[in-house]
Amino acid sequence: MTAVAGLSRDGRRRVWLRQFLLQGCWNYEGMQNVGFAYSILPALREFYADRPEEALKAVKRHLEFFNTQPAMGAVILGAAVRLEEKAAAGETDSRAIGTFKVGLMGSMGAIGDAFFWGALRPMASVAGAILALFHPLVGIAALLVLYNTTHLSVRFRGFEAGMEGQEGAIAWLRKAALNIKTEDRKLGAAILGGAYAGMYTGRFAGMGGTPLFAVVMFLAGVALVQLFTVLFRKAVSPSEILSFLLLVGVLILWQ
Amino acid sequence: MAWRFLLAGFLGGLCYLDRTAACQVMLHRPLVVATLMGAVFGNSSAGAAVGAVLELFYLARLPVGASVPPDDTGAAAFAGAAAAVAAPSTGLDGGSFTAVLLLAVFFAETGRVADRFVRKINGRIAHITLESVEKGDLQAVEHGLQAGLTLFALSGVILSLAFTGAGVSVAKYLLPNFGPGSRMEFSVLQPVLPLLGAASVYSCSRTERTAAVFFLTMAMVFGITLFLRWAG
């Protein structure tokens, strides 16, 4: 067994900051592999300060395929640092690190994608889009604050939990209850999305001046939202729909 | 005008970095980018108006695994610049607003092709990094990441310059060719665009209660908007 001091405060800070570049060299073969190796490098340099061969092996371990949701990568990064510390001290088998990363990146990716891309971002986006109609800066501020309050907190707390070891990471995940929060944010996005659709439809309906026109516009709005949703489910992309609309516009001008 | 393009390239490069390579703090979102580009070309409100609609178009396309979603950052750079330049000459009427948003789709798809290209080159960088590490060079990891970042930033700057250039050209040379009558006819498509964005939000926020909540809120806000419009 080799005596290894824990990661210094400065090393910890550098690893945490470097996680923001996890996708800095995103590629199809190894995906976030270079980014992960880059993020954990300050820790490896400390743990294997006087063992360059071991350091090299450790870096190669982290250059293997890696891909997860970037913010959730913080938890895996923290836990990987803790495991490397143990491996450097001879307390655990270094092969466990790769197994741990592979085991966790899929589930973290699934949780993170559903929460960040599927719930939090739509909610922040639609809130920003609504408020931007009152003032652009208010809209932008709302988008950035709503998203980043949670985003940065997950990056910080997730990393700290990971640094406490695998048990710490799992305990944090349980406490964070991201699956419940995903449902809540999705509901928030649905409410704001409905408000956005209602506001725009109401604006256009108001131009007609008659209640009948307004009712027809509202029903047409509901039908269009349903139609687009069905098209999205059938893998028709927004670009295809927009191109079709552009074609319709050109035909209108043609006549 | 040259300094405006320089600024657009610089800010666009930063926003593109946020898109994939660094941070992901949402500086790359269409609302932010279109407003920024609008401000650079003289009208941030016009930029924000197109950005607020563009913001929601591609929300349902998630950057999961190896899939690369359409480049809404590039689309916003084009639309923000075009809207800002068109606003004083055509008043950014419904027709011009609709045309700018519909034309932005080409830039979203072109940007996606460029993004895939950068990621392919990054594969080569990652390969070289691994080879250098095998030879005992630990610093290769840092150099590899810096090379990847530089490539993402460079591609962002080039795309921003090209897309804002296209936006300014469309606003200066294409839109004024159409008379007010033609633009009025084109604007019949305008009400459809926000609904496409709303459908994106609806389809990516599916839960058991989403349908009821979404359409009830839509009806309520529709009624309030209509009342406020007719009342005053």
* Tens digit of each residue's pLDDT (9 = 90 or more) over A200-232: 999 999 988 799 999 999 999 999 999 999 999
In contact, A197 and A54? CB cutoff 8 Å? no
Residue of B nearest to A222 (CA): B215
Cβ B101 vs Cβ B193: under 8 Å? yes
Please say if the pLDDT value at position B43 is more than 90. Answer: yes
**B99-108, pLDDT tens digit by residue?**
999 999 999 9
How confident is residue B89, by pLDDT bands cut at 50, 70 and 90?
low
Q: How close are the terminal C-alpha atoms of chain B, in Å?
A: 42
The alpha carbon of residue B88 is apart from the nearest alpha carbon of chain A, in Å, by 18
Cα diameter, chain A? 84
Q: Would the CB atoms of A140 and B178 count as touching at under 8 Å?
A: no
**C-beta atoms surrounding A75 within 10 Å:** 29
Residue type, B44: S
Mean pLDDT of B193-203: 97
The pTM score is 0.96
User: Residue A104 in contact with residue A79, Cβ under 8 Å?
Assistant: yes
Q: For chains A and B, what is the number of CB pairs under 8 angstroms? A: 341
**Chain A closest CA to B6's CA: distance in Å?**
23
pLDDT band with cut points at 50, 70 and 90 for residue B179: confident
The angle at the Cα of A175, spanning A173 to A178, to the nearest 5 degrees, equals 60
Query: Which of B53, B120, B138 to mutate against chain A (most A CBs within 10 Å)?
Result: B138
Q: What is the structure's pLDDT at B90?
A: 57
Collapsed DSSP state (helix, strand, coil) of residue B197: helix
Contact B145 A38 (CB under 8 A): yes
- Chain A CB contacts of B218 under 8 Å are 194-195, 197-198, 201, 221-222, 225
CA of B26: which chain A residue's CA is closest?
A144
Mean pLDDT on B160-188: 93
Q: Measured between CB atoms, which of A21, A136, A206 is closest to B22?
A: A21
- Interchain pair A190, B47: CB under 8 A: no
Expressed in angstroms, the distance from the first to the final Cα of chain A is 83
- A59·B133 Cβ contact <8 A: yes
Q: Provide the pLDDT for residue A192.
A: 98
Asked if the ipTM is above 0.90, the reply is: yes
* CB-CB neighbors (< 8 A) of A199 in chain B: 221-222, 225
**pLDDT at site A103:** 92
**Separation in Å, CA of B120 to nearest CA in chain A:** 6
Residue B166 reports pLDDT greater than 70: yes
**A24 → closest Cβ in B149, B202, B215:** B149
* Cβ contact B199–A229 (<8 Å): yes
Question: Left, alpha or beta for B98 (phi > 0: left; psi -120 to 50: alpha)?
Answer: alpha
Domain limits of chain A?
9-182, 184-254
Those residues of chain A that have pLDDT short of 50 are 1
- pLDDT, position A6: 84
Q: Say whether A26 and B55 touch across the interface (CB within 8 A).
A: no
Nearest to A224 among B38, B136, B195 (CB): B195
Q: What is the pLDDT of residues B119-163, one digit of tens each?
A: 999 999 999 999 999 999 999 999 999 999 999 999 999 999 999
Mean pLDDT, chain B, rounded, equals 95
Q: If you ran DSSP here, which 8-state letter would residue A31 be given?
A: B
Tokens of A27: 């590629």
- Mean pLDDT, residues B37-56 taken together: 96
**pLDDT average, residue stretch B68-93:** 91
- Considering only CB atoms, A194 lies closest to which of B192, B204, B221, namely B221
| Local confidence band at B3 (pLDDT 50, 70, 90 cut-offs) | very high
CA A237, A240, A244, A250 torsion-angle sign: positive
| Model pLDDT, residue B91 | 64
Looking at beta carbons, which residues of chain A come within 8 Å of B34? none
Q: Which of A136, A143, A190 sits opposite B45 (nearest CB)?
A: A136
The tokens of B104 are what? 């932005």
